[in-house]
Amino acid sequence: MENISDPYTIAYPEIVAVAAEDGNAIELIETFDCVGGAMWAQHHYRKSPVVRSVRLVGNTSRYLLSPGSGDLGLQGSVFPAGIAAASVGENEISITYRGLGGGGVGASICRSSARGVIRSTTDPSGGGKEAGSTLWLPRRSRLLIGIDDTDTPEEGATWTLAHNIARAIADDKTRYLSHTIVQLYPVPYRTKNCVAIVCEFATLDPAACADTFQALLERYTLSDKTGMAVYSGFDPSGLMPFGRSVKKGEVTAAEVDRVRPLVDVRMNGRGIVGAIAAIPFSTRYDEALSL
């Protein structure tokens, strides 16, 4: 029988934070190993004054936060843990967690030992104690890369190529967060299923991330009609009307030209329509997959 080195700690594999350009919003992305613990935290943390919303995306909890702090008024069973404060600096984002009992274990050592934490202050926890931690994370930017039309009727698949490139370029500066398949209107010249892909990154160097992705896409695409578009920013919802129009039917060149200034067009083949249209659907899986 193997020994358990630390039976009362479950380290979060990774915690990443992305800030809006003006510093008025933070998305805290916690990759979890224990689904029960993550669901418990989501249920209670959403009651915190600084938490606007929380959602489950794959094996991550996504907390949308407002910078600031508040008195949690923790109470066993009813509100035993939460996020007490969040702040945005020039290069760092800090998050403060507090919890009671087992909630204090999660708010302290379980999170302070996660990958991505620059430094932390952590209270002793366990038993019935109140405990917590403050974590300092790199201030990262969101980068969304949309691609379409990389395959041919004979070989290839855009969704697999996008994922493999995204995994290949991930490093400590650039974290690969999500991959979304976006169903588009089935135009006559599609390969077969007419989908585009958007990959999401949290990065310290958006330009280098986009450059490396483009170089690999140019190397491995099988099509001379590939489109690649890059959006760097916290909220791509300004592209949503265009994205929905591409789901409803074939769009005109003029409609495409109107949204080009909102993105950085890296590869301008016919697939650029789908590449741009995919971007606002990042992590919005139900809508992304429907016509």
Q: In total, how many domains does the chain have?
A: 2
- State both tokens at 259: 């949204």
Same domain, 125 and 155: no
Residue 5 lies in a domain: no
Q: Which pLDDT belongs to residue 216? A: 98
pLDDT for the residue numbered 152: 76
pLDDT at 188: 60
For residues 111 and 161, membership in a common domain is answered with no
Question: In terms of domains, do 133 and 168 share one?
Answer: no
Q: What is the CATH number of the domain that holds 231?
A: 3.30.70.2200
Q: What is the pTM of this model?
A: 0.95
Residues 246-276, buried b or exposed e (16+ Cβ, 10 A)? bbeeebeeeebeebeebbbebbebbbbbbbb
155 shares its domain with 283: yes
- Residue 80 structural domain: 14-138
CB proximity list for 289: less than 8 A, separation 6 or greater: 181, 182, 183
- Cβ atoms of residues 278 and 197 within 8 Å: yes
pLDDT value of position 194 = 82
| pLDDT score recorded for residue 185 | 86
131 and 27 share one domain: yes
Domain end call among 96, 118, 138: 138
CB 137 within 8 A of CB 117: yes
Instruction: Please state, in angstroms and rounded to a whole number, the distance separating the CA atoms of residues 185 and 274.
Output: 10
Verify that 33 and 107 share a domain, yes or no: yes
Tell me, letter by letter, the H, E, C secondary structure of the chain: CCCCCCCCCCCCCEEEEEECCCCCCEEEEEECCCHHHHHHHHHHHCCCCCEEEEEEECCEEEEEECCEECCCCCECCCECEEEEEEEECCCEEEEEEEEECHHHHHHCHHHHCCECCCEEEECCCCCCCEEEEEEEEECEEEEEEEEECCCCCCCCCHHHHHHHHHHHHCCCCEEEEEEEEEECCCCCCCCCCCEEEEEEEEECCHHHHHHHHHHHHHHHCCCCCCEEEEEECCCCHHHHHHHHHHHHCCCCHHHHHHHHHHCEEEEECCCHHHHHHHHHHCCCHHHHHCC
Residue 133 and residue 172 in one domain: no
pLDDT at 107: 96
Task: For the chain, list residues with pLDDT below 70.
Answer: 187-193
- Specify whether 62 is located in the same domain as 36: yes
* Integer Cα distance of 33 and 56 in angstroms: 13
Domain boundary among 115, 138, 161: 138
Domain boundary among 138, 165, 192: 138
pLDDT at 167: 98
User: Is the domain of 150 the same as that of 97?
Assistant: no
Could you report the per-residue pLDDT of 193-243, keeping only the tens digit for each? 689 999 999 999 999 999 999 999 999 999 999 999 999 999 999 999 999
Q: What is the dihedral of CA 60, 242, 259, 168, to 10 degrees?
A: 30
